[in-house]
């Protein structure tokens, strides 16, 4: 722990330095100390003005999220902000790094703000299911007007120092050393106050309220756009910002406080907090504590299809040298075109500048000869999902890579141990399962083989983090974490399909649960043929006693491969990407039910959701029990970041604790008795029940 807040007087200015590494979160002890330091500055005769700044890498990034859900400790952040604002001597806030949430609210409570040119300022509370609760909804719009304030609070995205200056959130950008400029300015302001001026308080500002019509228009637009919002915080943010115009400051603050507490106590906020910490927990794996990552500066990508091109693009953006290998010139040219397109789109969207793209492309070396990989530190194979093809690439890599270089595969199902065994260096082999599109999706499953060296695992984690991804450790099994749960999800959906639900009812129920798309919409998008080929490959090893639904096979036999053929579970007219329900599909399903002697029964949306969730949870518990995933939180992160599980529900394992393991187990056991082995409760659930523990207790 740092010193929390230090006090130093420089040329008549009290410099209060917040020091609470790593991110200067505003925990109770810090708040107490800052409160005392402000009082001391006020009473210190040697002081005529105050500067609040922070040590370390950033200005405070907000309230300490770990305190949420616990009894509140005085002084509360709003009280601290009010105390700062009430100071009689002027308070200048010097901002560097990221001033977020409560951190920015402290800054807004100060009388004047100066920031480093690289600083970023934001109100990301909405991403945690809450709203700014220390005056942010009242002070921000008084300075900026409704629209910029709402944009910040509803998107949660920070703005640059330049933008903050433009919208009136800060007063100055430092030209030289931030603290020195802040002190010099504070001294001037102190003199002015001594000469009779009053400090400028945000609560008294009217610049942002000057055009009430525009203000109310912005409110109305946002309110309209939020209709049907599933989260409690966004509509309340709009209400509070509206109040900033219409009611006195104190009344607005009271309204904000009530809304904040209500949102903080909501299930959605608890789930979003879980997601926040889970995403940070997954980075903690035993190998990283025990082994040093190897250096990766030069990287090879084999295969320049959609996946390979996406991976190459993110590696270039992260500053790596990339050698891209394809089997012939035509395939290589197609791959290059994909990378260029991705870059062009990044420029169009303002995510990269043209000169940055040129610099990145200069680090790309496209080749058709694998020998060119002799110098790379790590090579990722990203050829199509076929065991023979992947084995052939691995044999080639084994031949050309230098000793100590890492062989990574982007397979989504194949046995990494078998691939490793086919090389002379299984300890250097690892799975790096990227998700499509690789330049967008945050998740990477790091699949650790039985013989993977710990330094290789540590390297994979370090590399994924460097690429801006969230790596999750997975063990070897068919489908690793995510695709195994997806298989269970699809299976249970197929059972319901055969038993009486339509694909459209199932999709609608899962959208209503919070997924952007239902399982059959996703299947149509991905293409039904790939899974069909896989099922055919696995047919010989399938347990004949296992329930097998043939509907997907029948669709494929009818040439319905999904969106790309204009028909799958849905029909896509004239190249449309929005499918329409298709009576032919319903007829095909009906015929199949008749053939199997199944009398269809209705399924309510709630039952569909419950069955899908239970199947995912049970498979997740099996994966945990087998040691494929380290912790329940790791499974949640995979499902949230890779499979569209609604973030505000926290993930299947988080949901399991919410349902309660006892009722969950009872329901699974009943289904197993009535419907068969698919539903047999995972042994881990029984162990936890016997010990009176919950899944979350396994998160450590
Ligand atoms: C709020 O302010 C409410 C108020 O309006 C009203 C109150 C009344 N608290 O992400 P990193 C930890 S709501 C506690 O890996 P990066 C984090 O867990 C808050 N801990 O680093 C990790 O710990 P560990 C609004 C926090 O550089 C370590 O710090 N603010 C908090 O990739 C490093 O974090 C937010 O929502 C916190 N607030 O990213 C900001 N933040 O090492 C949330 C971080 O033990 N934070 N930690 O795993 C972020 O967005 C990122 O952490 C940040 C740094 C961009 C700051």
pLDDT one-digit tens code per residue, 287-334? 999 999 999 999 999 999 999 999 999 999 999 999 999 999 999 999
Choosing from 61, 68, 72 the residue with most ligand 1 atoms within 8 A of its CB, the one to mutate for a pocket test is: 61
Which atom of ligand 1 is least distant from the CA of 77?
8
Q: Residue 503 in 3-state DSSP?
A: helix
Atom of ligand 1 nearest to the CA of 102: 2
Q: Which of 31, 65, 132 to mutate to test the pocket of ligand 1 (most atoms within 8 A of CB)?
A: 65
Which residue has the CA at smallest separation from atom 47 of ligand 1? 23
Q: Walk across the sheet containing 98-100 and list its strands.
A: 98-100, 120-122, 159-160
Rounded Cα–Cα distance for residues 473 and 285 (Å): 7
Predicted model pTM: 0.94
Question: What is the predicted pLDDT for the residue at 229?
Answer: 86
CA distance 14 to 179: 12
What distance in angstroms lies between residue 241's CA and the mean position of ligand 1's atoms?
24
Q: From the CA of 66, how far away is ligand 1's center (Å)? A: 9
Are the CB atoms for 14 and 6 separated by under 8 Å?
A: no
Q: What does the pLDDT read at residue 538?
A: 84
> Which CATH number among 3.90.226.10, 3.40.830.10, 3.40.1080.10, 1.10.287.810 corresponds to the domain 4-265?
3.90.226.10
pLDDT of 184 over the 90 cut? yes
What pLDDT does 371 receive? 94
**Atom 45 of ligand 1, nearest CA residue:** 280
- The confidence score (pLDDT) of residue 79 equals 97
Active site residue 105: yes
Catalytic residue among 42, 45, 105, 279: 105
The pLDDT assigned to 533 comes to 87
Q: Is the pLDDT reported for residue 2 higher than 80?
A: no
pLDDT of residue 388: 85
Residue 591 in this model has a pLDDT that exceeds 80: yes
Task: Report the mean per-residue pLDDT for the chain.
Answer: 96
Q: Which of 293, 645, 631 is nearest to 465 (CA)?
A: 293
Residue-level pLDDT at 413? 81
Which among 171, 121, 173, 129 has a CA at the least distance from the CA of 148? 121
Which of 18, 20, 23 has the most ligand 1 atoms within 8 A of CB, as the residue to mutate?
A: 23
DSSP string for residues in 64-109: -GGGTTS---SSPHHHHHHHHHH-SS-EEEEE-SEEETHHHHHHHH
**415 confidence band (pLDDT: 50, 70, 90):** confident
Q: Which one is catalytic: 125, 256, 279, 655? A: 125
Distance 304 CA to ligand 1 centre (A): 37
- Other CB atoms within a 10 A radius of the CB of residue 645 amount to 27
Q: Which H/E stretch holds residue 654? A: helix 652-659
Taking alpha carbons only, the member of 140, 125, 170 closest to residue 249 is 140
Spell out the domain ranges in the chain. Answer: 4-265, 286-474, 482-627+631-699
- Whole-number pLDDT of residue 390: 87
Q: Using the Cα atoms of residue 274, residue 275, residue 280 and residue 286 in order, give the sign of their dihedral.
A: positive
The CATH architecture annotation of domain 482-627+631-699 reads: Orthogonal Bundle (1.10)
Which CATH number applies to 286-474? 3.40.50.720
| DSSP conformation class of 560 | -
Taking CB atoms and a 6 Å cutoff, what residues make up the pocket around ligand 1?
A: 22-23, 25, 61-66, 77, 98, 100-102, 105, 124-125, 128, 132-134, 136, 280
Match 């518990």 to its residue by tokens. Answer: 621
686 catalytic per annotation: no
Which residue lies with its CA nearest to atom 7 of ligand 1? Answer: 133
Q: Is the pLDDT of residue 51 over 70?
A: yes
Rg (Cα) of the chain, in Å, rounded? 29
Note the pLDDT tens digit of each residue in 462-497: 999 999 999 999 998 888 999 999 999 999 999 999
Residue 100's pLDDT band (cuts 50, 70, 90): very high
């Amino acid at each position: 722990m740092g010193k929390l807040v230090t006090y130093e007087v420089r040329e008549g200015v009290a410099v209060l330095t917040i020091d609470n590494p790593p991110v200067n979160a505003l925990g109770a002890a810090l708040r107490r100390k800052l409160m005392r330091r402000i009082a001391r500055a006020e009473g210190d005769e040697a002081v005529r003005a105050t500067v609040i700044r922070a040590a370390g890498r950033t200005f405070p990034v907000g309230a300490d999220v770990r305190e949420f859900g616990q009894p509140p400790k005085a002084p509360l952040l709003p009280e601290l902000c009010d105390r700062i604002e009430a100071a009689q001597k002027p308070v200048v806030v010097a901002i560097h790094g990221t001033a977020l949430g409560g951190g920015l609210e402290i800054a807004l409570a100060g009388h004047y703000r100066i920031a480093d040119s690289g600083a970023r300022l934001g109100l990301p509370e909405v991403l945690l299911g809450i709203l700014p609760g220390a005056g942010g909804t009242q002070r921000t719009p008084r300075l900026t007007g409704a629209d910029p304030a709402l944009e910040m609070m509803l998107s949660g995205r920070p703005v640059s120092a330049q933008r903050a200056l433009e919208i009136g959130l800060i007063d100055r950008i430092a030209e030289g050393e931030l603290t020195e400029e802040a002190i010099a300015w504070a001294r001037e302001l102190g003199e002015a106050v001594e000469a009779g001026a009053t400090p400028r308080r945000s609560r008294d500002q009217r610049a942002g309220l000057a055009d009430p019509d525009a203000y109310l228009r912005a409110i109305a637009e946002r309110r309209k756009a939020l209709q049907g919002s599933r989260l409690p915080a966004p509509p309340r943010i709009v209400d509070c910002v509206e109040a900033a115009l219409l009611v006195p400051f104190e009344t607005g603050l009271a309204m904000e406080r009530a809304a904040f507490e209500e949102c903080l106590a909501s299930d959605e906020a608890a789930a979003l907090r879980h997601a926040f910490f889970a995403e940070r927990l997954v980075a903690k794996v035993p190998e990283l504590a025990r082994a040093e990552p190897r250096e990766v500066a030069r990287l090879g990508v084999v295969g320049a299809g959609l996946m390979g091109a996406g991976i190459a693009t993110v590696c270039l953006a992260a500053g790596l040298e990339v050698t891209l290998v394809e089997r012939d010139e035509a395939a290589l040219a197609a791959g290059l075109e994909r990378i260029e397109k991705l870059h062009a789109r990044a420029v169009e969207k303002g995510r990269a500048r043209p000169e940055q793209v040129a610099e990145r492309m200069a680090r790309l070396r496209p080749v058709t000869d694998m020998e060119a990989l002799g110098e790379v530190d790590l090579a990722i194979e990203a050829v199509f999902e076929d065991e023979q093809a992947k084995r052939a690439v691995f044999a080639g890599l084994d031949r050309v890579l230098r000793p100590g270089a890492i062989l990574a595969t982007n397979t989504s199902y194949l046995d990494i141990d078998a691939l490793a065994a086919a090389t002379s260096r299984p300890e250097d082999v690892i799975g790096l399962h990227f998700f499509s599109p690789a330049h967008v999706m945050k998740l990477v499953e790091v699949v650790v083989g039985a013989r993977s060296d710990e330094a290789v695992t540590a390297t994979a984690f370090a590399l994924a983090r460097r690429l801006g991804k969230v790596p999750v450790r997975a063990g070897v099994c068919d489908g690793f974490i995510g695709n195994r749960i997806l298989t269970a999800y699809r299976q249970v959906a197929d059972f319901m399909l055969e038993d009486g639900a339509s694909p459209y009812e199932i999709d609608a129920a899962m959208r209503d649960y919070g997924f952007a798309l239902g399982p059959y919409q996703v299947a149509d998008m991905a293409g039904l043929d790939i899974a069909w080929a896989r099922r055919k490959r696995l047919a010989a090893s399938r347990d004949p006693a296992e329930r097998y639904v043939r509907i997907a096979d029948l669709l494929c036999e009818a040439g319905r491969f999904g969106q790309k053929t204009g028909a799958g579970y849905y029909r896509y007219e004239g190249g449309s990407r929005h499918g329409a329900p298709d009576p032919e599909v319903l007829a095909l399903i009906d015929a199949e039910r008749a053939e199997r002697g199944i009398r269809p029964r209705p399924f309510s949306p709630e039952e569909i959701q419950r069955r899908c969730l239970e199947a995912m949870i049970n498979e997740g518990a099996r994966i945990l029990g087998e040691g494929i995933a380290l912790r329940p939180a790791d499974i949640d992160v995979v499902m949230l970041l890779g499979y569209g599980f609604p973030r505000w529900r926290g993930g299947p394992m988080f949901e399991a604790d919410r349902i309660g393991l006892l009722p969950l187990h009872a329901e699974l056991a009943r289904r197993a008795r009535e419907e068969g082995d698919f539903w047999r409760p995972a042994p881990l659930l029984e162990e936890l029940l016997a010990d009176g523990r919950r899944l979350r207790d396994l998160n450590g």
